[in-house]
Amino acid sequence: MHDKPILSEVLKNLRSAKNLSLRQVERKSGVSNAYLSQLENGKIKEPSPHILHKLAEVYDTPYNDLMKLVGYIKEQKGENVSKKIMSDVAFKALSELKDDEKEAVLEYIEFIRNKRKKK
């Protein structure tokens, strides 16, 4: 199994990227907001595949990736599912930006790269 807090962080980030409240996710998924809160706080470490399927649909993320994150499906050697999920979220968010916003994001990425090169 994996380090379980990763699941809680990924779920929180997926919800945030969709700009949804716990109550909105509850309405869309049928999963109680109390349960969702416990998932995001790391109190529930292995939700059932059924719950993961519901969340994958609401968050528009691959179900198999969530299953791998929890450990129900074995990751391929060298695979980092949490980074893959968050990259997918970032690319989807980028596609929703206006052109000037995209340009600002790209400028910020270049700033970060240059900052790292100076170290």
pLDDT tens per residue, the chain (119 residues)? Answer: 444 448 999 999 999 888 899 999 999 999 999 999 999 999 998 999 999 999 999 999 999 999 999 989 887 887 788 788 878 878 777 777 888 888 888 888 888 888 887 76
Domain count across the chain: 1
Structure confidence at residue 79 (pLDDT): 72
Note the pLDDT of residue 31. 97
- Tell whether 104 is covered by a domain: no
The b-or-e profile of 58-97 (16+ CB within 10 A means b, else e) is bbebeeebbbbbbeeeeeeeeeebbebbbebbeeeeeeee
Q: Is residue 63 part of a domain?
A: yes
How far is 90 from 28, CA to CA, in rounded Å? 22
Q: Is the distance from CB of 73 to CB of 67 less than 8 angstroms?
A: yes
Q: The domain spanning residue 83 has which CATH number?
A: 1.10.260.40
Domain that holds residue 38: 5-94
Taking the C-alpha atoms of residue 17 and residue 89, their distance in angstroms, rounded to an integer, is 7
Within a domain: residue 113?
A: no
